[in-house]
């Protein structure tokens, strides 16, 4: 399909509304782009469709969600021909996660300061650039775990671009396993691991949580997934975290969903030891008592 055949639904809105839209199923589509202005409260969501009829129907459905703020504006428009490989790169810039950890796109020129740990990333069509609140929170909790002791085992469930697993490897975790049900995501994660010189330390697995043969437990498990998935596979994720004092980082959770997550894991012996709130999103670090 040529670029001239695309139509776009463009939502100009605020950051909180964009975060709410990010929990809808369409947000996981490769045809969707989220953009936020670092210097203001503004955000943009773009969803690309093959026909004007599809775009108009999507815009109508969006209006019925009740998630748009009063200031949100929705546009349906034809898209002029563009170089799509370059177009989406405008939305991914160097992201400082903490004083130590930095995520940089592979095409950016970034000179790390002394002591910085830089993850070089090309997300392709996979989720995970460090710009979403859930990803940033996971990275912060992983860094905290790394700073509290010797290298430990790490599992990234639903790895997407591989960012969390690669950051863990760069921070000294070993062994590191990254799994995703999407072979394309695993391929992107493998390429990013190679770019960061940790390909020999990050093992990629293509598997589904429904039938994944868990052969061991991990001292730190990161699961940046939808809340429904975290609840549906609570037994599997609880087993992955294994022994008492191991950490299970759960993310991708809207504020209204967090109590349900805590109840699901409390039934399996976990309680919250740490949490990070950002906007509408909560990321929790859970441990067995």
For residue 36, what is the domain's CATH number? 3.30.70
Is residue 124 pLDDT above 70, yes or no? Answer: no
- Work out the pLDDT band at 4, boundaries 50, 70, 90: very low
Is residue 250 pLDDT above 90, yes or no? Answer: yes
- Which of residues 66, 87, 108 is at a domain's end? 87
Name the one residue in this structure whose structure tokens are 């773009």.
46
As a whole-number percent, the residues of the chain with pLDDT over 90 amount to 39
DSSP string, 107-121: TS---PPTT-EEEEE
- Which of residues 61, 87, 113 is at a domain's end? 87
The CATH number of residue 265's host domain is: 3.40.50.150
Q: What is the mean pLDDT of the chain?
A: 84
**How is residue 38 annotated by DSSP?**
T
Task: Give the residue, 149 or 267, on which the prediction is more confident.
Answer: 267
For residue 130, what pLDDT is reported? 58
Q: Are residues 216 and 283 in the same domain?
A: yes
pTM of the model: 0.72
Task: Of 65, 12, 59, 62, give the one whose Cα is nearest residue 35.
Answer: 12
Is residue 188 pLDDT above 90, yes or no? Answer: no
Least confident among 45-49, 121-125, 175-179, 230-234: 121-125
- Cα(249)–Cα(264) distance, integer angstroms: 14
Q: Are residues 180 and 270 in the same domain?
A: yes
Task: Give the residue, 158 or 88, on which the prediction is more confident.
Answer: 158
- Cα(202)–Cα(200) distance, integer angstroms: 6
Q: Are residues 112 and 31 in the same domain?
A: no
Using a CB cutoff of 8 Å and minimum separation of 24, what contacts does 33-41 make?
Answer: 33/88, 33/91, 34/91, 34/132, 35/90, 35/91, 36/131, 38/93, 41/14, 41/15
Q: Are residues 22 and 137 in the same domain?
A: no
Range of the domain at 55: 3-87
- Cα(256)–Cα(282) distance, integer angstroms: 9
Q: Are residues 30 and 72 in the same domain?
A: yes
Q: Are residues 21 and 36 in the same domain?
A: yes
- Which of residues 44, 72, 87 is at a domain's end? 87
Is residue 132 pLDDT above 90, yes or no? Answer: no
Q: Are residues 186 and 257 in the same domain?
A: yes
Task: Of 197, 31, 192, give the one whose Cα is nearest residue 123.
Answer: 192
Contacts for 266 with CB less than 8 Å, ≥ 6 apart = none
Task: Of 138, 190, 126, 192, give the one whose Cα is nearest residue 164.
Answer: 138
Name the one residue in this structure whose structure tokens are 């369409």.
26
Task: Of 12, 28, 48, 288, give the one whose Cα is nearest residue 181.
Answer: 28
Backbone angles phi, psi at 77, to 5 degrees: -150, 150
Q: Are residues 108 and 82 in the same domain?
A: no
Looking at the structure of the chain, the number of domains it has is 2
- Cα(223)–Cα(206) distance, integer angstroms: 15
For residue 201, what pLDDT is reported? 92
Q: Are residues 80 and 110 in the same domain?
A: no
Least confident among 99-103, 161-165, 221-225: 99-103
Task: Give the residue, 81 or 102, on which the prediction is more confident.
Answer: 102
Task: Determine contact, residues 146/176, Cβ cutoff 8 Å.
Answer: no
The CA R_g of the chain, rounded to the nearest whole Å, is: 19
Task: Determine contact, residues 209/252, Cβ cutoff 8 Å.
Answer: no
For residue 30, what pLDDT is reported? 58
For residue 2, what pLDDT is reported? 40
For residue 224, what pLDDT is reported? 92
């Amino acid at each position: 399909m040529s670029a001239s055949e695309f139509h776009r639904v463009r939502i100009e809105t605020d950051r909180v509304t964009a975060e709410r839209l990010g929990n809808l199923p369409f947000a996981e589509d490769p045809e969707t782009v989220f953009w936020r202005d670092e210097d203001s409260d503004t955000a943009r969501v773009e969803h690309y469709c093959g026909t004007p009829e599809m775009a108009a129907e999507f815009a109508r459905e969006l209006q019925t969600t009740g998630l748009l703020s009063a200031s949100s504006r929705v546009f349906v428009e034809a898209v002029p021909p563009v170089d799509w490989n370059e177009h989406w790169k405008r939305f991914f810039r160097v992201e400082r996660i903490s004083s130590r950890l930095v995520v940089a796109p592979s095409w950016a020129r970034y000179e790390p300061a002394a002591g910085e740990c830089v993850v070089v990333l090309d997300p392709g069509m996979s989720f995970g650039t460090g710009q979403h609140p859930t990803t940033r929170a996971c990275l912060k909790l992983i860094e905290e775990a790394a700073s509290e002791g010797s290298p430990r085992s790490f599992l990234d469930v639903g790895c997407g671009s591989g960012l969390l697993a690669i950051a863990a490897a760069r921070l000294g975790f070993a062994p590191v396993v990254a799994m995703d049900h999407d072979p394309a995501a695993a391929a992107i994660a493998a390429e990013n691991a190679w770019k960061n010189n940790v390909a020999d330390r990050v093992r990629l697995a293509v598997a589904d949580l429904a039938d994944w043969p868990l052969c061991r437990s991990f001292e730190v498990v990161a699961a940046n997934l939808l809340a429904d998935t975290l609840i549906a596979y609570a037994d599997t994720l609880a087993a992955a975290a294994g022994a008492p004092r191991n950490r299970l980082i759960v993310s991708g959770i809207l504020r209204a969903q967090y109590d349900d997550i805590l109840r699901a894991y409390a039934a399996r012996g976990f309680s919250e030891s740490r949490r990070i709130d950002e906007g509408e999103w909560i990321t929790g670090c859970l441990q067995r008592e």
